[in-house]
Amino acid sequence: MRTISLALLVVALSCDAQDAAPTQPQRKTPDAPAAQEPKSPAVPKTGSPLERWAFDGGAPGSIPAGFELLETAAAGTPAKWGVVADAAAPSGGKGFGVLSTTNAGQTYNVALAPGFEAADVELTVSLKADSGTGDQGGGVVFRAQGATDYYIARWNPLEKNVRFYVVVGEQRSAFKAADLDLDASQWHTMRVIVEGARMELFMDEQSVLVAEDETLKAAGRIGLWTKADAATWFDDLTAQNL
């Protein structure tokens, strides 16, 4: 009996020792990172193609292919347009413009470029005021609906200013002007940026005029413009949709 009691005592002590042993904490396996969907590559924004008209390939006196010659408030004596040789022309020796005109008053000489229409647009052109006694200089037209409705950005060395105009039903109205004195014997660069109602005019890369107008909103053609007897040459016309 004593032997059995001792044996039972040993078993009991062994069980108590196991119960008292500290329990080791279980280690958690870190969660695997959640799989992420591959990101789509960013699509670069690209502008619309730049349209350019340089006039070096034409014979003197010729009309570049596709240009439409018009008059606003025609007086019956259309201006003579054509390619002209000028060694100082920026693109390489030739330009295009009014070679002669006997127009006067509120008759405007317009040459619309082919195959381009825009509402929001950036235009550039080089121009040189060759002659004119009543008027000189000229500029660009945009959002043109033929010869009756369009906007004008123009430089006049006689008046020593630049202006924005809108023509509606052949009637012209000025809505912004700024003084600007430039040498009429030299070529100058005109740039116009049009976005919605906002218009900005640069001459020789200097911002000279900012305006807003909402009269004409639809897309239209672009082109070249002079007033009355202003015989002005143009070169390297570019246009880009914005």
The CATH number of residue 120's host domain is 2.60.120.560
Q: Would you say residue 192 lies in a domain?
A: yes
Is 222 within the bounds of a domain? yes
17 Cβ neighbours under 8 A, 6+ residues apart:
none
- Parent domain of 139: 51-241
Q: What pLDDT, on the 0 to 100 scale, is given for residue 110?
A: 98
d(CA 147, CA 105): 16
- How much is the pLDDT for 37? 40
Give the pLDDT of residue 92.
85
In a domain, 16, yes or no: no
Half-sphere exposure of 141 (CA within 13 A, CB side): 31
Q: How many CA atoms lie within 13 A of 23 on its CB side?
A: 4
CA angle 147, 148, 152 (to 5 degrees): 75
3 is a domain residue:
no
40: in domain: no
Distance between start and end Cα atoms, the chain: 109
Give 10-residue mean pLDDT values along the chain (242 residues): 40 42 45 42 57 94 97 93 96 94 96 97 97 96 97 98 98 98 97 98 98 98 98 98 97
Say how many domains are in the chain: 1
Give the 3-state secondary structure of residue 5.
helix
Task: Look at residue 13 and tell me if it is in a domain.
Answer: no
Domain-embedded: residue 98: yes
Residue 124 belongs to a domain: yes
Amino acid present at 205: E
**H helix or E strand, kind and range, residue 14:** helix 2-20
